Amino acid sequence: MSSYIYLSSDTFLPEGAIGDKGLTVFQTTFYPSLNSMESFFFENNYDTDEQKVLSFSKHFSSEKYQVASIDLNLPENDGKKISKRNKKALEELFGYIKNHFDNSNASYVEILFCLNGFENDPLQHNYSINYNELSANDLLYEELKFLTIKKQD
């Protein structure tokens, strides 16, 4: 099983690689260090086989705008030292959320942290925070954590 991060919002969420600093020569990508690899690759919730939108989790308010990524780099909320890759992932996720609020009319972003296959299990942690109070520490990985970030006008 793998750790995943699922996001939902009331407006479109960008897809694709977040934090990829690889160098592409012809059709080959080179990474000078592990820290230059992408932290996340967000994919939407559109099922091409069934040609419809599916919700990643019953905990989300809306199924229309959702993305998910395997999480290999977010540090756990366990007080251990944070590596450069962990710090980069936190900064990039924070930047992704900030960019989303700054460049859209989004009023909220919901985030579910969990192992794949457990998206609909009972939540262990449920937090709500105002966007202007959000910090990188709020984005630390906790199993079955649900975080709602609200933008106040």
Strands (E), the chain: 3-9, 16-18, 23-25, 28-30, 40-44, 46-47, 52-53, 65-70, 108-115, 125-130, 145-150
Residues counted in the chain: 153
For 119, the token pair is: 């998206």
- 79 phi/psi in degrees, rounded to 5: 80, 0
> What's the number of domains the chain is made of?
1
25: containing domain: 3-150
Q: What is the pLDDT along the chain (153 residues), one digit of tens a residue?
A: 789 999 999 999 998 877 655 455 577 654 455 554 556 788 988 888 888 888 899 999 988 899 999 887 888 887 778 888 888 888 889 999 999 999 999 999 999 999 999 999 999 999 999 999 999 999 999 999 999 999 986
Could you tell me if 4 and 66 are in contact, meaning their C-beta atoms sit under 8 angstroms apart?
Answer: no
